[in-house]
Amino acid sequence: MTINMVDQLIQIVDSALASSVERSGPHLVCRPGCTQCCHGIFPISQQDAVRLREALQALDQTDPEKSHRIKTRVAASLERLDPHFPGDRATGILRDDYEDSPLFLDEILTSTGASLGDSEPCPVLDSVTGTCDLYEARPIVCRTFGPPMRTPHGDLATCELCYIHATTEEIAACELDPAIPDLERQGNEAYNIAHNTHGETIIAYALRD
């Protein structure tokens, strides 16, 4: 997969998001400082991982202090997650059955009684500003979370904080382009073939030293 194809996928997703945001109006309440979707464990593709690593490397040159803060949060996250990671810790690649692991089933509890898999902050999240330190390089799942998105079962899923007062018809009218999941899958497959990569990882492992 060439870099142009990667850029094309991002452009398609961002364009679809902009359209959904416009149609959603006040029903979509996502804003800086709202970080619920920045907590929890979720898989990302290898091309998402590469894009994040490249952005962090660039940040080393332009803002080394911010880069250092991200790396510190990555190390702290790995310390919490390593004992429970459902995959190869050397490569950071998740097992095929990762969804059935205690971490992803929210069975691992923190000292406060919260689920580690559900409460773990993304290491790219700046908890002070409530914003993403690598926003322009964020994974596809981060770009599409919030607006109505069709699930594999055919339902429309949204952020639980959004569309609270919207009717079923209004939610449906704001749906993200339903072609995005297939385009993402095809893009990931092409990328993995071109770069001899496979599987999925999580952000903490993608950004570790």
Considering only CA atoms, which of 109, 104, 70 is closest in space to residue 87? 104
Residues with Cβ < 8 Å from 47, sequence gap 6 or more? 1, 6, 187, 188, 191
Strands 156-157 and 149-150: antiparallel
SS3 sequence of 80-135: HHHHHCCEECCCCEECCCHHHCCCCCCCCECCCCCEHHHHCECCCEECCCCEECCH
Q: How far is it, in rounded angstroms, from Cα 114 to Cα 110? A: 5
Which residue type, as a one-letter code, is found at position 84? H
Residues 181, 175 contacting (CB under 8 angstroms) = no
What predicted TM-score, i.e. pTM, was given to this entire model?
0.93
Q: How far is it, in rounded angstroms, from Cα 207 to Cα 204? A: 5
Residue 209 gets which letter from DSSP?
-
Q: What is the pLDDT along the chain (209 residues), one digit of tens a residue?
A: 445 667 888 999 999 999 999 999 999 999 999 999 999 999 999 999 999 999 999 999 999 999 999 999 999 999 999 999 999 999 999 999 999 999 999 999 999 999 999 999 999 999 999 999 999 999 999 999 999 999 888 889 999 999 999 999 999 999 999 999 999 999 999 999 999 999 999 999 999 98
